[in-house]
C-alpha cells in the first residue's frame, strides 16, 4: 500500500525561494505543494483554507512574522505541523518558534535531502531541530537554568508584563489573558515572548517557576 501523500504549504516572502522549494519538493514522490504564501497573514489564511499537513515557514515575513503566524496556525489548524526554514539561527528565534508550536527548525543552507527527510519525520510526529542549532539551544537552556537559580534579571518587567505573567502563572492561555486584559491576542503573544526573554525562561511553565522563585508573584 502506498504511503499517504504529504501536502505542503510554503510560507516564504522571496518568490525565487518559493519557486525553488516548489520545484524540489514536487519532484519528490509522496510530496505535493498545495499552496504558497508571501506574507505571514497570507500564510495563516492559506493554512485555514487548505489545511496542509506540513507548513514550511520563514521567520522574517511581511505583515506578520513567522513566529506570530506559527502561533496563530497551531491554534486554528492544530493538525498542521510547522517547520521553520530560515536564514536566522539566533537562539531567541528558536525559543520563540518552539514556544509558538513549531515542530522543526532548519536553516536554508541545508541539503534538499535533509529538508525532505525532516518533512517526513515531522509528518510522522517527530520534532527535529538542526543539530548545529540544537547543540547551541541545549547550552542556552542550561545557561538559562543557571541564571534562574539566583541570577539577576537583565531587564525589569513592565507593569503590563507583570499582569500577563500573573495570569500566565495561573495557567491562563493567551486567549484567556487577552480577554481578561482587554488586549489583542497578538499583543499578549508579544508580551509572553518578552517575558520569556527577560526571565531567561525556556517556556511558560519555566517562566512561572522562575517568577515564584524570585518572589515576583
**Weakest mean pLDDT among 71-80, 82-91, 109-118, 173-182:** 82-91
Smallest CA-to-CA distance from 7 within 98, 123, 91 is with 123
- Whether residue 213 is predicted with pLDDT greater than 60 in this model: the reply is yes
Max CA distance (Å), the chain: 58
Nearest to 206 by CA among 145, 158, 164: 145
Q: Are the folds of 6-137 and 152-211 the same?
A: no
Output the pTM of the full model.
Answer: 0.64
Instruction: Give the pLDDT score at 151.
Output: 46
With 90 as the cut, is the pLDDT of residue 51 above it? yes
What are the residue boundaries of the structural domains of the chain, listed by start? 6-137, 152-211
- pLDDT above 70 covers a percentage of the chain that reads 85
Alpha carbon distances (Å) from 162 to 7, 159, 168, 207, 216: 41, 5, 10, 12, 8
Contact 97, 115 (CB under 8 A): no
Domain 6-137 maps to which CATH number in 3.40.50.20, 1.10.510.10, 3.40.50.150, 3.40.50.2300? 3.40.50.2300
Task: Write the class of the CATH domain 152-211.
Answer: mainly alpha
Say how many residues make up the chain.
217
Amino acid at each position: 500500500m502506498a504511503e499517504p501523500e504529504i501536502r505542503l504549504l510554503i510560507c516564504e516572502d522571496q518568490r525565487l525561494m518559493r519557486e525553488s522549494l516548489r520545484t524540489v519538493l514536487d519532484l519528490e514522490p509522496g510530496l505535493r505543494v498545495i499552496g504558497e504564501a508571501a506574507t505571514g497573514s497570507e500564510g495563516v489564511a492559506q493554512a485555514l483554507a487548505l489545511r496542509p499537513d506540513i507548513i514550511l515557514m520563514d521567520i522574517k515575513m511581511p505583515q506578520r512574522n513567522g513566529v506570530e503566524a506559527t502561533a496563530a496556525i497551531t491554534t486554528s489548524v492544530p493538525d498542521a505541523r510547522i517547520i521553520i526554514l530560515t536564514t536566522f539561527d539566533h537562539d531567541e528565534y528558536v525559543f520563540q518558534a518552539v514556544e509558538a508550536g513549531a515542530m522543526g527548525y532548519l536553516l536554508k543552507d541545508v541539503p534538499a535531502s535533509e529538508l525532505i527527510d525532516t518533512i517526513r519525520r515531522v509528518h510522522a510526529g517527530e520534532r527535529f531541530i538542526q543539530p548545529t542549532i540544537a547543540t547551541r539551544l541545549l547550552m542556552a537552556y542550561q545557561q538559562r537554568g543557571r541564571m534562574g537559580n539566583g541570577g539577576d534579571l537583565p531587564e525589569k518587567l513592565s507593569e503590563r508584563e507583570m499582569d500577563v505573567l500573573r495570569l500566565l502563572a495561573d495557567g491562563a492561555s493567551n486567549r484567556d489573558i487577552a480577554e481578561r486584559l482587554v488586549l489583542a491576542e497578538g499583543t499578549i503573544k508579544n508580551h509572553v515572548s518578552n517575558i520569556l526573554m527577560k526571565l531567561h525562561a525556556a517556556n511558560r511553565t519555566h517562566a512561572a517557576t522562575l517568577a515564584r522563585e524570585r518572589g515576583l508573584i
